[in-house]
Amino acid sequence: MSISYNNMINIAVIIILSYLAGSIPTSIIVCKALRGSDIRNYGSGNAGGTNAFRVMGWKAGILVVSIDIFKGFAATEWISRLNLFSGIPESSIPVPIIAGTAAVIGHCFTIFAHFKGGKGIATSAGMLIALFPVPLFVSVSVFAVVLLTSGYVSLSSLIAAIAFPVTMIFFYINDPNNIDRTAIIFSIIITAFIFYTHRSNIKRLIAGTENRFEKVRIFTRKSY
């Protein structure tokens, strides 16, 4: 199906606004407000939710993650519906997916902080809440189990990312009418992107130098 010039402009505006919404550097703003310093100078140096927990504590961490989730949700659910010229056919192009992806890219490569943001997990979660809540629930459950077992947020994120397309494919096999192939392709692409943003974490996991949250490990044997 062809897309008119007006619809192309409308989609371009949606992409730009979604990117800017995702680019809001939540952890940097919160750290500046609470500590008067740049979070990128502490912990892992990453401007994301995990480092917010590590540097500022659980209350500030929850605030940062919640806002980052909201950014992805808002772009996918609301900004994607922007209709400046009217008449964008819902079936012509997956605009919510494009808007949510733009927000995730904005979070990871924020224009407000020299294109150095977070890893995109929370913002991706916000996008998936709007698009595919059930597969997301499966991924979140996998994330929780791995985190409580290992203490590694990065490892938990990576395995949860793998669980997402696997769940999508499982649902597609069981009911092809409920999930289309575009969604399957998207799930694989977003997983690959998360692996890309976590490439430094993967190197540290292999080297055994990755940071670990020991306090959350409840499924491990205690040494006596």
Question: Which stretches does DSSP call E strand in 16-166?
Answer: none
SS3 43: coil
Per-residue burial over 43-53, b if 16 or more Cβ lie within 10 Å, else e, is bbebbbbbbbb
How much is the pLDDT for 178? 83
How much is the pLDDT for 36? 95
Q: What pTM, to 2 d.p., does this model score?
A: 0.89
Give domain limits for the chain: 1-131, 132-224
For the chain, what is the mean pLDDT? 91
29 phi/psi in degrees, rounded to 5: -65, -45
Contact 62, 45 (CB under 8 A): no
- Please write the tens of the pLDDT for every residue from 44-97: 899 999 999 999 999 999 999 999 999 999 999 999 999 887 655 554 568 999
Q: How confident is the model at residue 136 (pLDDT cuts 50, 70, 90)?
A: very high
Contact 104, 162 (CB under 8 A): no
